[in-house]
Every structure is written in C-alpha cells, then in structure tokens.
Structure 1
C-alpha cells in the first residue's frame, strides 16, 4: 500500500446521486421467434395416433366381448334348459308331480341359477314351478330364444320342449348379468391397457429425448462459447435430419470470421496510414511552437494543435485496442493481479501528482486470476486514467484490490470527482461517450474496459459516493481450482 498527498484546489463539479449496478455479461434478447418443444411435439405425434388406435381396438374389443359373452351365456342357457327338461321328464316317468320333487325345488338348485337367472316349467299352459327371480307370465313361450322387457328390466329367454309331451322348460336370464360380465371383463383389461399406454408414452418420451440429446449438446456448446470464439463446431455425432442446420451454422461462423478478419485488417491499415500524417502534423506544430517564441498568442494556437494531434493519436491507439479485443480470442493464463495493479498504479501516480491529487493504493498480495495480462492492464490503466481525469486538484483517487468471501476478485477505483447522474450511468460504457466535454478524451476508455471485463466473464458495478465522487468496481471470477 502506498499513498501520495498534495495540496487541494477547486474544480467545478456536477451533482451526484445514489449509485446503480450494471452487468457486463451479454444479455439475451427476446425475439419474435415462437418456441415450441420438439420433444413434446414428437411424443404427441406418436402418442395421439397410438392412443386413437388403442381406443379403436378397445371399442372393437368391447363389441367382440359382448358378442362372445352373449354366445357363451346363450349356450349355458341351452345346457341348463336341457338339464331341467331331463329332470322334468324323469319326474313324469316316475309318476311324480312335475317340478315338485325336492331335487327341483331345493335351495341348492335355485342357487345354481342365481338371482339373475331363473327357470320356469310349464305343463301345457300351466306353470307348475318356477324360481323366484322370474317375472310373471300368462302364456308359455315359443321354443327357442326370445327377448322381452318388463319395466326397466330386459330379459333373455330360451324355451325347450320334448316332442310329443306338453312339458316346456323356460330359462330366463337378466340382461344385467350379461352387462355385469362384460363390465368385469373390460375393467380387468382397463388397468393393463392404461398401464401399457403410459409405459409406451414414457418409453417414447425417453427415446425422443435421447434422440434429441445431440441437439442439446450442440446448444450447450454454443451457449458456453466466448463471444470471440468463432471456431466451427466439431466433435459431435449429428443426426442426418439436423446436419444441414449444423453445416449452415459452421458456414455462417466461417463467413463471420472472414468478415471480422477483413475488418481488423482494414482498421490496422487505416490506423497505420493515419499515424504517419498525424505524427508529421505534430512535429510541424512543435517546430512552429518553438519558432514563435515570444508570440504567446500564436504559441497557444500551436500548443493546441500539438494537444489535438496527441488526442488523435490516442484515439487511433484505442481504436486499435478495441479492434483487437473484438476479433481476438481470450487465451486465459494465470495473472498475478496484485503485481499488475501495483505496477500500473505506480505508473499512474505521476499523473495524480501533476494534478495535486491524493492517490492511495490498497492492494492485497498474491491474488491470482485467469485472463490476458495486457487486457487486464488496460482495465486498471483506463479506470485510473478516468478517475484522475475527472477528479479536481486536491481530490482523492483510490485503487483497491481484494478477494471476496465467495472467492471472486474485486478491483475498485474510487474518486472524489463530480460523479455521474443516474440517467447517464448506463451510457458510460458506450463508445465515444464522454462524461464531460471540458476534459480531454476519446470516450473509448470505459468501452474498452467493458469489453475486456465481459470477455473475462466478469461484471462492473458503478455507484456514486457520498457526499460526492464515483466508485467503479470490477469483479472477476475466481480461478479454477481456487
């Protein structure tokens, strides 16, 4: 830590107010593109026809089941009728009253038919016996199957007679039994079918997700890229369906790389072409200044010309720096930020002394970050240059470097200058924006700082100090493994 102090003087300052924070990370802009889930769309495209097909199969199964149950129950009714007819003929052969023997009238016999089945034995047009489940009837039925409704109840009946004898056996069955059997069968199939649909849906969803995984991997690789990384995508197994998109993206990257290289070459050539005439103008202005010794007015004009050429040369140098930052990739290496900040501060302290400012440096030792040495030097130099330029004589300029509790590195530069109104703070880091027209500068210094910090995945916060002044804090991520 070192400190320099000098006498104070006054400088007109604008009012300052509370600070605000801005982030240098690139913001995602919402466009007009409508997004939808390809995974859900593909799953739905498969599942909806499949569900419709299964539904159609289920409806067909219900119809087939109803038909099968009806045939089976009809066959059962025929067998029951033949059995009862056999008993009735046996009674007649033995001379017993038809339908009055304990065998036919026993509870076990009636239980055989259940409450939804019933039998009736006719002798001529007289009912000699019947189960309690059947509704009343006045006439014997015709042989064969018949359907009838009594109230809300529907019945299916089968009548059989023995040729030459007046005995008619009628077996009736409630439709409720048939509906119950069909319903039980369908319910027993419903859970397996639903489970099958859900299982197929889950398998399809998982398989579609697996098929789309290369797309997600490519998206993650693009999202994780630095803005300056214009290398083509590679190292992926690309499905044939998205290969045209993949190749088109790589072609776009190649065109962008060529355009940026062309732009950088143009800026370099233009800067080189401008340096020579500006240097010549500066040299001639200095000669004129010396030749006009004793003519104060003309010497002042010559000194102004020299200062203008210095500013023009500075603008060209900063444009070159900005061009290189925009077109080059960040190659991160361990950088001793403590030594870097200390070295830049010792160089810049002379400018503070020239303006009679108090300069203070509070730099924690052994702070390492990952980044570009030259770029990080520009950050410290431009922030200090900006603070010294806008701080009045006798004011305070302070630079501090420390490691925060979360492991990140914080570089802060504060001053006691006029500060920046909140409505202008967002424009501080735009190109060619100057905070004051009374101070020399190109308006590119903070823009360069913003670009460097963004490329190092850091962020900048700006706040006004109380009662006046400005503090700019650059936060850089902790190095890997720290």
Structure 2
C-alpha cells in the first residue's frame, strides 16, 4: 500500500479498535465481577434477614414461593430436619454448606450461602446461569456506548488525517499544474515542520534546474553565434576555390579552406568539451593519475610544439592520484598546455609541473608568452572572450573549459606571473591517497627545433 493517507487511517483504525477491545474487555470483566459480588451480597442479606425470624408468615412464604423468583430458601432445624423450603428442589443437597459455595444439582450450578443460628440453619440458593446471564447483560450494556462512539472516532480520525495531509496535497497539486519551464519556487508559507524541508529541497532543486537551463540557453546562443562566422567563412572559401582561374589560385584557396576547416573542427571540439563540462552533465568518475594524464596530453601536443620550435617540458616526480573523469581532466590539461604553446612566441618555452603541495594535488603551467594583466584575469574565464590584439586564431573557450572541469572536480584555478616571463596557471585538487597501481614518475621534454 503506497498511500500515506490509507496507511495512517489503517494505523489509527487498528489502534482505535485495539484500544476499544482492551477497554471493552476490561470493562466487561470488571462489571461482571462487580455484578457477581452484588448477587453474592444479595444472597447473604436474604439469608441473614431470615436468621432471627421465628416463624415465616404465610404471605411471606407465598412471596418466597413465587415461580418468578430465582432464589430458593431452605431452613433446617439444628438436628437437620427440614422445616421450610420456598420451592421443592430435590436436586439441592439436604444439608447446607455454611458460607458461599457452588453446588452441582439438576444439571446446573447453584450459588449458595448458608448461615447457622442456635436453633436453625438457613440456606439461600440461586442458579449460576441466571446470575451469569444477568451479569453479562449488565456488562454488555456498559460497553454498548463504546461500540456506538467507535465509528464516530473512526470518522473523526479520517477527518484529522485528511486535514493533516492537506499541505502535501497542495504541494502535489502545485507541482502537477506546472509545465516544464515553470521553475519558480513553491510557496512555503503555512507548511508544517515535516513538510517544509521537502518543499525547501524542491525549491533548491528547481533553482538549480533553472540555473542549468539558463546556462544551456546561453551556451546554445553563444555557440550558434560563434559557429555562424566560421561556417560563413567556409562557404566563402569554397566559392573562392570554385572560382579559382589557375592552379596557384586553386592551391591558395584550398589551403585557406583547409585552415578554415581546421579552425571550425577545433571550435566544435571545444564546444563539445565545454558541453560535457557543464553542470548536470553525466560524469563517470574513476581513479586516475594526473601525471599520466599530463603525459598523454603533452604527447598529443608534440607535433604543435615541434612545428613552432617551442620547448614543452613536464616535471612529474611522483604519481598524483585523483578521483575524476578522464575525458574532462584530459581536456583541462590539454587546453592549458595548448593555450601556453599558442600564445607563446615561436621558440618559446612551456613547463608543466604535477605534484603535491600543502595536502593537495597541484598542476602548474608556466609559459614565456605575453601573460595576462591582473585586471583582465577574471574575464578570460568567460566563454568566447578573447583579449584585444591577439593574432593567434581561437574561440576563447580554452580557459572556460578549464574552469568548468575544475569546478566539477572541486578544484580551484588561479592565474599569476610566471618565472618564465609569461602566465602561470595553477590548478589545485583535494588530495587522494596514492594507488599502488599508479604509473611510475617521469619527465618529458621536447627541445626547440
């Protein structure tokens, strides 16, 4: 049963029926015992009332002999001779038992009380079934009001449960009536303490979903804007290729088209990397070695470093274990190294260092390029932002990807001055205990061509 209301109603009904059963049984047994005691008192008083009476008057004897009277009165002399019986009951014993006693006679049980005086013995008897029937009727009449009130309690309990769960129904109705784009917070006024945390959590989730949707809308708008220019350039270059009059012009147009395709492919690759790094994107975390990721990223950039005549060096003295997403961290290291190579002059120097510092994993990238002024360092992490005066073609997504990946892994990114004269980028992660299967440390270096 999945309904909370039905569970509460069944629980309250079970508790009410259990309490009614216990209370009714206790009341029934109590009234039964009290009625039995009252009947015994009546037997005793009747016997004692005849104790000091000399003769039984005829009218009194006639009253005691009434067939509707349940009592049987017997009187004996002190030597055991019967001198009176209100009704003839041969099944009753011919000798009295003093005090209270249960006697089997005539196929039923009799309750008797006997008392002795100096001259006579008096016994009053009453059938036990009659007593039990009268006592049971009295006990049932005492429990009857509870049986009448119990259904009213059930209805009252149902009304209380419905009133208690009304805030949950209001919240469900509010959520059910919204469309996919209605992410405004749910009202929290008047909610009970048990429901308020749920609504607060839902509002937090709606806020995060709103931020994610806004980020996706902004990303799609920016991507469409940035893709429009290279695609238009490709169309123009293709038209120039078709219009080329001779072989040298055709080769020049082909070269420009190839460069345009390469720039467009790089832009699409960076857009996809940024989309994978956005909040809410699925990520498969696994144990990784940052030093090994750096080696792989630098291996991919060796042709670019060689073509520019630049020196690309990695210093990794020990494995640096991390728990993260392989594709995202690889993109982070590759973008930092690629930016350092592209924005450093040909023949420049780029150094990457991977290690531990202050209880945290650290990646440092130094280059010999022009660097970034302190006033502009916060802006370069925005999407599609390129500094004025840059001649190197690009999309302005490299550092945006780095920041997005770092935030998803709980890392921090800072920019500073490099000892090589250019920019220093430092990324710090929480430290993860080293894995015994981590690759051995090493150093990679590509000298200037």
Q: TM-score, normalised by structure 2?
A: 0.46
Report 1 or 2 for greater relative contact order, CA contacts < 8 Å, sequence distance ≥ 6. Answer: 1
Q: TM-score, normalised by structure 1?
A: 0.43
